[in-house]
Amino acid sequence: MSKADESTPENARETARETAVYTHGHHESVLRSHTWRTAANSAAYLLGSLKPHMRILDVGCGPGTITADLAALVPDGRVTGVDRAPEILEQAGATAAGRGLTNVDFAVADVHALDFPDDTFCVVHAHQVLQHVGDPVGALREMRRVTKPGGFVAVRDSDYAAMTWYPASGGMDAWLDLYRRVARANGGEPDAGRRLKSWALRAGLTDVVATSSTWTFSTPKERAWWSGLWADRTLASAYAERATEGGHASADQLRAVSQAWREWGRREEGWFSVLHGEILCRKDA
């Protein structure tokens, strides 16, 4: 048999690996946002499809707050949370243990090469993942592979170009331009939300329901929290390092962007909306 004849799906999965660099990293300012996420505020489009017995895979689970919520919603089932970063899984495990959940486990995994048999899970879920991967279509194919016939692939991603705020701010405009350049230089696609349906169809998913939803930050507490985490992230996270090391911004420019975030957060009329694209795809039975 020639080398070309050995190109099976199993061999392809063995060689498929993430090529993008995760833009944000796991600085405290990043986890401040990630640990705020719940199934209610980040996966509402999926919840009506859940049944108590389901087995769920949560891809890119991070600190595990959504994972734990999903586990609580399937008390007769089981949830597996996976992430590429081993260091974050310890926190995810502590999150689940702190809630007394026994139907959840965690493992290191790459969405491009999931170490699970075909047709394993009732639901394969990913929140804010595909914007950071090098091959989102390939990732969706792999998510589809491990989903049972009749089960669901559920994905939600923000769309940076569609984010909007008031009042206008040149510093915030600079932030958005900078973030999108850094994310793309890292191999990701920051405007993923609008592309999810297209990616799903290219991945062979045919029963695709595409929706959208938003996070909105407007109260004094919300503005302080949202602006503060981005002001800090701009100066002291992996994103900040990649912005300067990649030649996208100087330290002075990052300080100016950080200050713009804080100034916006102090504005009484301040309002910020994050648009998310969502897809709920049923795998052909």
pLDDT tens figures, 128-160: 999 999 999 999 999 999 999 999 999 999 999
Backbone angles phi, psi at 147, to 5 degrees: -90, 140
CB 200 within 8 A of CB 138: no
Residues of the chain with pLDDT under 70: 1-18, 29
pLDDT given for residue 10 in this prediction? 52
Instruction: Report the predicted TM-score, pTM, of the whole model to 2 decimal places.
Output: 0.92
pLDDT given for residue 5 in this prediction? 37
pLDDT tens digit string along 33-76? 788 999 999 999 999 999 999 999 999 999 999 999 999 999 99
pLDDT given for residue 19 in this prediction? 73
| CA distances (Å), origin 96, targets 79, 117, 195, 223, 251 | 11, 25, 32, 29, 38
**Which residues on adjacent β-strands are paired with residue 92?**
none
The DSSP call for residue 21 is: P
Q: Residues 8-22, buried b or exposed e (16+ Cβ, 10 A)?
A: eeeeebeebebebbb
